[in-house]
Amino acid sequence: MPIAPHAGFYIEDGSNRRLARKQRGWALSVIKVFAAALVISVTVGPKPARADSEAQEQQFIGFSKPGDFEEMPGSDPGQKILLSPEIQAKIEFNEAIVSWNAQMPRQASLRVEARALYPDSATKYYCLGVWASESAEHPRHSVPNQADQDGKVATDTLILSRPARNFQVRLTLAGEGALPALKFIGVCLCQTNAALSVGAPNRSVWGKTLPVPERSQMPYPNGKVWCSPTTVSMLMGFWSKDLKRPELDRSVPAVAEAVYDSEWKGTGNWVFNMAYAGSFPGMRAYVTRLSDVSEIEAWIGRGIPVGLSLDYDRLRGKGPGPNGHLVVCVGFTPEGDPVINDPGTTQHVQKIFRRANLIDAWSCSRNTVYLVYPEGLATPNDPFGHWDSPQTRASNR
């Protein structure tokens, strides 16, 4: 959710539907500063010790290839189903976001579902998105009205009524001819009642700014609702220049068209934005949640800009919001304040905001980020597994 119709947040395209659905009962909890995504594989060994208050926040489980998924025929001709093994998380989670990267042939589609497993029962499979590159033949869309006693789906986020520790992912591949070629599946788990752990600032990157192209969403006819695709356009533009791959440099309207959710009728679906960026050969893109600004600093130190989902009003110190927005963190000032490419302005896209404002604004999405970078690139040190890294991939079993 880009701040999109998400798990109790709000929407980048001007509507506050998402927040309205969950604001009641959630507002008090947000003060605790929700956590983010612990990228840990089911097979990873013991992690460095953490304080008890830090140990049960979030987890991210990545499959670089779904080789461990059971393959079976679908209900319709030309379909194939891939079912993950029962996965035991290291935390009790009540929210899950599934990202995917796949090369999509024309007239092919991918349906992504997940369910929670309890000792005495299992939930139904909730649909977390139907993805396709050719929207005319197979409209990409989220699936509304999935609420029941076990949970619900807020556009791209599964919200459980009671915490679970085990889950399964089910993928349905369909097409007239070639099927989608899956490159990566990432599952971001979160325990929203856990307190956020805070790390020491990484002052080694203070004063560093990455050359991310500055792009505004405002000049376009529908631009006021395009902060998420503009953020993705900037991230891809950065890698286009860095890798000398002009095909990665996609215009804002091109990204907006490619990530449009025909059911939600907007461009702010978090996982759709990452599915598009990750569909290009050699690129990885996914949604995860971090614990603290120091982890953003770790990515900047490695030369990788980070997309942030946050409350625009809080970022600017103008009140509590809600006013969902997506921006790119491109660096930090010598004093440690974030340098932000803010697409929601017509001039001077690159701005400096107070560090305290960023922390407050970012907490409203439970510290959600877009991570886009080349496959195989050495990611920052990840001692607690907050993102995809060699030691945290479930497919290494």
Say yes or no: 224 and 170 in one domain: no
In a domain, 131, yes or no: yes
If one counts the domains in the chain, the total is: 2
Packing angle of the helix pair 252-259, 227-243 (nearest 10 deg):
120
Rg (Cα) of the chain, in Å, rounded? 19
- pTM score > 0.85 for this model? yes
What are the pLDDT digits (tens) for 20-64?
A: 333 333 333 333 333 333 232 333 333 333 433 344 588 898 987
Same domain? For 256 and 173 the reply is no
Give the residue-averaged pLDDT of 268-281.
98
Is the same domain home to 252 and 376? yes
Q: For residue 390, tell me if it sits in a domain.
A: no
Pull the structure tokens for residue 181. 């070629």
CA 165, chain centre distance (Å): 21
- Whether residues 219 and 365 share a domain: the answer is yes
Amino acid at 187: V
Whether 374 and 332 share a structural domain: yes
Q: Which residues have CB under 8 Å from 20's CB, separation 6+?
A: 10
Residue 271 backbone dihedrals phi, psi, to 5 degrees: -70, -30
Rounded (10°) CA dihedral 207, 213, 219, 220: -130
Residue 286: inside a domain, yes or no? yes
Same-domain check for residues 324 and 220:
yes
Q: What is the CATH number of the domain that holds 172?
A: 2.60.120
* 160 vs 94: CA distance, rounded Å: 5
Structural domain includes residue 3: no
Same domain, yes or no: 210 and 290 = yes
Q: What is the model's pLDDT at position 64? A: 79
Say whether both 361 and 308 belong to one domain: yes
CATH of the domain at 316: 3.90.70.10
Residue 115 sits at the vertex; the CA angle it makes with 109 and 120, to the nearest 5 degrees, is 155
Residue 301 has pLDDT above 70, yes or no: yes
Domain span including residue 325: 203-381
